[in-house]
Amino acid sequence: MPGKHVAGAPDEPCRRCKDKISVLVVRSEPLCHECFARYVHTKCIKRLESFRVNFGAPEQQRRILVPLSFGVSSVTLLHILDLHLKTQKSKTGRTGFAISVLYIEEPDQPLEAEELLHKARKQDPDHQYASLPLHDVFRLIPDDASIRNLVPQLEHTNDSSPQEQLARLIDSLTSATARADVLTTLRTRLIVEHAKLAGCDSILWGDSTTRLAQRTLAETAKGRGFSLPWQVSDGESPFGINFHYPLRDVLKKELISYISMSEPGLAALVHETSSGVTQASTSSKNTTIDDLMKQYFESVEENFPSIVANVVRTTSKFEVRPGAASDPRCSLCSMPVPGGRFGIHGWGGDQEDGDNISSVKPTRNICYGCTRSIPKLATNTNGN
């Protein structure tokens, strides 16, 4: 069991150092505190080979963005990256990259960004910190009207504020899954835009093995399986910026154990009502597809962590189709859609469609998955 504290065997030695007493069992391996911390660090840092110190061009330091939700995963990632930079500095006198941290303020949460970021700065003060309200996604993409065109009746109120546009869009969605899906999509778009404006060439996401497995099945169930090669793999994204997942080899349970065994200041950063660690709803009406996948994989990883890891390893083998970057983009998620097969009928999945997609012409360029989230908007005419 990952992160399972040893009970009834206080004298069992650590299997790695053979010296200290083990304090928990990680994937059937008893480890002491130091070896467990080293285990998590190594899993993360080995994914950062491309972020070594550049001795040839010290003035051209890379800048990376770390989205911080104040959940267990993102807090752990920032802490490990901070330690890694300090190690680089002590050994070489310089660092391989600089960190910008971004917190997205959710529309349904009180204004607590300053308090949260103050705690983060106090814990890791050597980085740049910023927060943005989610509705800024309508402000930071001024030349792209595709998202604003999805807001109901916006053509009648062109002077509406970004807050009003976001509220109108979310209020128009008819299910909990649709609201969660659209909010996640807008959050990603906003993070990407901020990363570009901040001069970052990569975004380092705090997704654990468990989180990536959840996303694999959730996105497939929502009809966005075509985007998985970009959503779970390291490398260039369709947004023109690199995505990396340094914690992809670490289970969420292991990260929880890491946080609980670290200094109190790190554990105090984890904010239990943040978007990254919200509890799944107990009401079936309000349970989303993401909630179901979260519940499933967090239960599976308790006794069968290899199943979770196998899902991620298998999905990581998916490759982007040659020429996919030139495919038409979805107006909402901005993912390249193969063959421009937009809308509910684009893939010929309905009984009345068969394989004839030429007769069905969507009025907006929205992929199948996003159309499922906003079906009314996707089938309306363009302001007529």
Ranges assigned E (strand) in 121-274: 128-133, 202-204, 235-236, 242-244
Matching residue, tokens 């979805």: 330
Write down the pLDDT at residue 347.
Answer: 63
User: What is the per-residue pLDDT across 220-267, written as a single tens digit (0 to 9) for each?
Assistant: 999 999 999 999 999 999 999 999 999 999 999 999 999 999 888 888
Round to whole Å and give the CA distance between 44 and 209.
11
| Nearest-angstrom CA–CA distance, 186 and 373 | 13
Query: What domains are defined for the chain?
Result: 61-327 (3.40.50.620)
pTM of the model: 0.88
Those residues of the chain that have pLDDT short of 70 are 1-11, 55-59, 109-111, 142-145, 154-159, 272-284, 346-363, 375-384
Describe the crossing of helices 305-315 and 209-221 by its angle, rounded to 10 degrees: 60
- Tell me how many degrees the CA angle 321-219-256 measures, rounded to the nearest 5: 115
Give the tens place of pLDDT for each residue, 278-294: 444 455 678 899 999 99
> Cα torsion for 221, 224, 228, 229, to the nearest 10°?
150
Question: Would you state the pLDDT for residue 349?
Answer: 53
Kindly report the average pLDDT of the chain as a whole number. 84
CA 82 from chain centre, in angstroms, equals 20
Using one digit for the tens of pLDDT, what is the confidence trace for 209-225? 999 999 999 999 999 99
> Residue 381 half-sphere exposure, CB side, CA atoms within 13 Å?
2
Instruction: List, for residues 176-199, the tens digit of each pLDDT value.
Output: 999 999 999 999 999 999 999 999
Residues in the chain: 384
| Contact criterion met (CB below 8 Å) for 338 and 324 | yes
